[in-house]
Structures are given as C-alpha cells and as structure tokens.
Structure 1
Amino acid sequence: MGVVLAATHVPCTAADPRDAFMPAALTDIKLVEHLNETLPLNLQFTDDSGKAIRLQECFTEEVPVILSLNYSNCPMLCVLQLNGLVDSLREIDLVAGKDFQIVSVSLDPQETAEQARATKQKYLESYGKAAEPKGWHFLTGPENSISQLAKAVGIEYVYLPEKKQYSHPAVFCIATPDGRLSRYHYGVEFPPQTVRLSLVEASEGKIGTTFDHFLLICFHYDATEGRYAPTARNIMKIGGAMAILVLGLIIWTCHRFRRKLENVDPDHSLSNGRAAVIPGT
C-alpha cells in the first residue's frame, strides 16, 4: 500500500526544496511512497559509456541500491541533493561498488551519455573513498522509460518550457537487492547514520555489523522525523529476554553447584578431616 506524503515540488532554481515561498502551483503536490513494491527492472536505459542496458543490470542481487532521479543541466536543486548525498556517504564506512550501488537516472530525455559521464566523474571525484566507477551508474533514456520509473517510485516531475528546467521533488530511494523499494529520504541533507542504517536494513542481512542489526531491532524508521527512533516495545522485549536469560544462567549455576555438593563422598571427606588432626590434641 502506498503512503501519500506532501512533498515540495520545485524547479531546480530553488535554493532549498523546502522553501515555503514557492509559487502555489509548484507546492503541496502528493508524492506516493510505494514501499515494498518492485521497480520495473526491465526498463531500457543507456549507461554513461553509451551502452544500452536494462535497469536490472544495476542490481546485483547482493547489495542494496540508492536510486535518485536528477539531470545534469539542473542548475541548483540536483546539485544540492547529490552534494548532500555524497557528504553523507563519505561519513560512513560502507563503500559504493562494494557494499551498495548508486543509480542516478536523468529526468531529461535529451541528456546524452557524454553529459552523464561528465557528471558521474565529478561526483566520483567528490566522493573519493576509492569508489569503483561501476558502483555509481548515471543513466539516460527515452521519456517512456523515465516516466515509467518515476511513476513506479511515486515521483511527479514537470517540465517548465519557459525555464527549460524540470520541477521535481528532492528525494532519493533505497531499494533492496532484488529491486523492492525500502526507504525514502527527502531534502538536501541526510544524516549519515540514518543513511547507513537504511542501507543495512535494505540489504536484508547481507551488509552491516551485528551491532547494526541489533540497532534495527531496537529502532524503527520515523518517516515524520526522517530518522531511526527507539521502539519502546522492542526494547522492552529485548530487556525481558535478557532478564530471563540472566535468571536462567543463575538457576543453572546454582543447580550445578548443588549437584557437585551432592556428589561429594562423605567417607573421603571424613578421611581428609582425620588426616588434618594434629596428634596429641
């Protein structure tokens, strides 16, 4: 079931996607989150090398995928969003191309592979961390593929001919290795720990530490706050389980100690006692 949220629908000239002073025609649109729905992985695109590929080829069945819809000629919003994403990814110990993939699809059907390649190079250099080029895919494609993907994600976008720009929400999604939408992140700044836990959650146990998975038991994603928050019920369950475990350990220890006392040979104990008596006393 989709979750309907209000999203800021702004042209890329806006300084901030949450700007409250945008024209009414470009605000208060509905963005529908299609959580747990599968992306149309058979859609055809062109990668930054000019090769025709299906979206499926960007999914390895092993690691989660960060998906964004931007375009290279965007003068402001896409730059802020992708810079914010890169800033966040630099702060976590997971690496693009190894622990997750990034797929950026252009909203502009006129964008060329050469433009996409130049944009990719810029952000790979900004990201650093020895990222593999194959870890971040910049795709272009026909309007039909772009619109189908945007619809599947729940993103609305509008071309503004007088500005030659696209109005679209600042959002990226995280998908599971098999292409199911797992989490949405909005804005141009993304808390690193929130992004990290979203990737671990979407990986379904394939990446992350034991502590990460423990955190995901105790915390749940609060969409209104855009972060993971403690879950009182789960914390109480874990606390109760630990209390039972400790109590069981105490009972087991006491039982073993009592068994040892019961198995002591009385004659052996008395013999040891007589040997300890000093003659003449």
Structure 2
Amino acid sequence: MAQLKTYVAQIDPVWERITEEARKAALDEPLMGGFLHACILHHKSLEKSLSYRIAAKLASNEMSMAVVREIVEEAYSADPDLVHAARADLVAIYERDPACHRLLQPILYFKGYQAMQSYRVGHHLWTVGHRDLAYFIQMRVSEIFGVDIHPAARIGKGIMIDHAHSIVIGETAVVGDNVSMLHSVTLGGTGKEEEDRHPKIGDGVLIGAGAKVLGNIKVGHCSRIAAGSVVLEDVPPCKTVAGIPARIVGEAGCEQPSISMNHMLGPQSQ
C-alpha cells in the first residue's frame, strides 16, 4: 500500500500531457524528433525540462550550458515555488493566448514564458545573496529574449507576457498574480530616484501593448491599461485608463480583464 501511495504521488498529469503532446509532434514532424527529445522527452519532470531549456538559451562563451543548468536545478531544488509558478504561468498562457493550442508550445517556442522562468531563477539568486549570478541571468535574458527584468523585482504567479518584445520591469516594481501584458510594456521610474521608484501592479491587471507605467504608483486590481498609454498616477481597482497621460475612461468591463484579454474600449468605457 505504501508503494502504491508513493507511485500515485509521483504521477504528474500536466507533465504526462506535455510528453504526450511531444510524442505526437515527433510523429507528425519527424525532423523535429531530436529537438523534442532533447527538450521534453529526455526528461522526467517539468523542472528538469525547464532547466535544460533555460540553460540552452542562456549559455554563452562566458558560462557553459552545464554550469547554467546546474544553477537552475539548484534553484528549483531549493525553492519549489519556482516550479509552482512555472506551472501557473504555463496554464495562464494556455488559457489566455488564442495562439497557444498545446501546453508544449510555451516551453519550446514562446520567449515570454522562457524569459519569465529565467527571471524567476534570477530572482531566487538575488534573494539568497548571489547578486552577480542574478545580474548575469538578467543580462542574458535581455540579450536573448529582449526582456529586461531586474532580478529584485517581485512578480506573482499566473503571468502571461504575449509576444514579449521590449519588456522592461524595474528594480522596485511589484506585479501581482494573474497579470497579462503585451509587448513593449515598461514598468519604470521617472528619474534618478534610488529608493522605491517603480510601479505596483495589482492582481488580474491587463496591460496593453506599448503601455508605460512610470513611478512609484499603484495600479489597482483587475484594471485595464489601454495600448500606448502613459500612466503617471494611481489607477483605482476595476477601471480602464487610456491616453497620454492616462486618464480613467470607464470601468474595466469584466471581473477578470487579464483573463478575458479584451482590449477594446466598449460602451462602458466611453
């Protein structure tokens, strides 16, 4: 009975689904077989697959893939929350991105997901005092993915960064759970302040493409920031803001903007 309980505990439906998707993909595209085996089928768990994938992306002439992979695996072993967050991010992308049809896709192809998991490792390194390693991870993520997230920034679970081009998130920024953002989003400062100087984004917020949120301001939960907006003042919960500078133009329009992914300013926002 004890052995049965141990076996049941080791079953991972998410990973089983991912590996089944990989097997099917290898049958459909035989030329992808080596790639799929290296990234997915050769591994026994999501964290092992991610450690390989992150290392393959971030390795350089200055730091080998073997060393980067060891760093990632040690981080996953020390902090299981990193794996929980990776799963939450994966499900968020699958549920919110209409271009994502399989759990397999973000691991293999979506740089927003890959960059976020790399950031999470860098943040772990920062919090345990390995600051230079954290900076190295930040540098490589910026170079490889075009996503520049300071390792000290605090970011919740269930994050989707769609397209993930030219994302900037500053050192003292805080991002809640279940936040969605599109490309060219900046969560930045407004000058040369050295203290708490970056935005605080609540849970369930939707940030449109090209939006800039600047300064130590609060964006309330379940609010929407329209594409191209420049936000310089606090945003109340459940509101839509738009413009340069951004102003409240209506209600958020639904209970979970980051999940509905509705960017249109409907009648309720006129």
Give TM class, smaller chain: under 0.3
Question: TM-score, length-normalised on structure 1?
Answer: 0.26
The structure that is strand-richer by fraction is 1
Structure number with larger C-alpha Rg: 1
Question: TM-score, length-normalised on structure 2?
Answer: 0.26
Q: Comparing both chains, which one has the higher relative contact order based on Cα–Cα distances under 8 Å and sequence gaps of 6 or more?
A: 1
